Amino acid sequence: MSVGPPALRSPQGIKLDEHAVDGELTLQQCSACQTVQYPPRELCRHCLGDELNWSAVSRGGDLLAYSELQHSLEPFFQEQLPWRLASVKLDCGPVVLARLTASCPPGNIRLEVSHAIQAGSSILQASPANTVNAVNKA
């Protein structure tokens, strides 16, 4: 039996799920200074502005580091181990943690990050930039 990702979300995490579009990347953007931020917050991390919009942003980024989880207490993750977790510096600014859909060789790796909707919740997933269309969305 397949289960979804952990459902417990912060109020801002719930808003992220509401604005997530499968295959796209939608993040908060400050209307005053245009800073894109992740994770979502109530105020802009740069200017403390409180007018934050949800915008489709560039999905490209550079792999900073990744690790493979071999164990988890969450049934969702247990079904999909090993779970590759990547730290990605997005071209639009923030660093995000995302599920890495393929193993990557060492070196400078370009990735594309997008939402993947699973059981009503959004996760971020990252794929090598030239294989995004070949990824099987689990």
Interacting residue ranges for Zn ion, rule: CB under 5 A: 30, 32-33, 35, 44, 46-47, 49
Instruction: Show the tokens assigned to 42.
Output: 């109530």
Q: Could you count the other beta carbons within 10 Å of the beta carbon of residue 34?
A: 14
Output the smallest distance, CB 55 to Zn ion, in A: 13
Q: Half-sphere exposure of 71 toward its Cβ, with a 13 Å CA cutoff? A: 0
30 vs 92, beta carbon nearer Zn ion: 30
CB 111 within 8 A of CB 103: no
Output the smallest distance, CB 26 to Zn ion, in A: 17
Cα–Cα dist 123/117, whole Å: 6
Output the smallest distance, CB 32 to Zn ion, in A: 5
49 vs 60, beta carbon nearer Zn ion: 49
Output the smallest distance, CB 92 to Zn ion, in A: 14
Beta bridge partners of residue 55, listed in sequence order: 27
